[in-house]
Amino acid sequence: MKKDIHPEEYRMVVFKDISNDYMFMTRSTAPSRETVTWEDGNEYPLIKLEISHKSHPFYTGKMKLVDTAGRVDKFRNRYKKHLKSS
């Protein structure tokens, strides 16, 4: 392995799956502007995820549409005239 390429500044960070409000804490170097109070009463940096192992179809066995950015609606609006003629 190459020396001196890995970060040294690991800290505890809370990750939150915004599709189902599941949160877990682990060590990370990822930057965050938001914070959250964890179960132990301490405040930690918060990183929001669109999908995690609690909502991913591979792990849950269920197909679930996660459309947080409105991509499906944008697609339907863009191709509305083509969908009606089919």
- pLDDT tens by residue, 40-82: 999 999 999 888 878 766 666 666 555 666 777 777 777 877 7
Please indicate, yes or no, if residue 6 is contained in any of the structural domains: no
Domain tally for the chain?
1
Is 60 within 8 Å of 51 (Cβ atoms)?
no
Give residue 37's pLDDT band: very low, low, confident or very high (50, 70, 90): very high
- What does the mean pLDDT of the chain come to? 82
- Residues near 48 by beta carbon (within 8 Å), at least 6 away in sequence: 15, 16, 18, 34
pLDDT number for residue 67: 60
| Domain limits for position 51 | 11-85
Please indicate, yes or no, if residue 55 is contained in any of the structural domains: yes
Please indicate, yes or no, if residue 32 is contained in any of the structural domains: yes
Please indicate, yes or no, if residue 66 is contained in any of the structural domains: yes
pLDDT at 17 over 70: yes
pLDDT number for residue 7: 84
Strand order in the sheet with 11-17: 22-28, 11-17, 43-49, 34-37
The angle subtended at Cα 75 by Cα 83 and Cα 54, nearest 5°, is 120
pLDDT number for residue 73: 76
Query: What tokens were used for 84?
Result: 């009606």
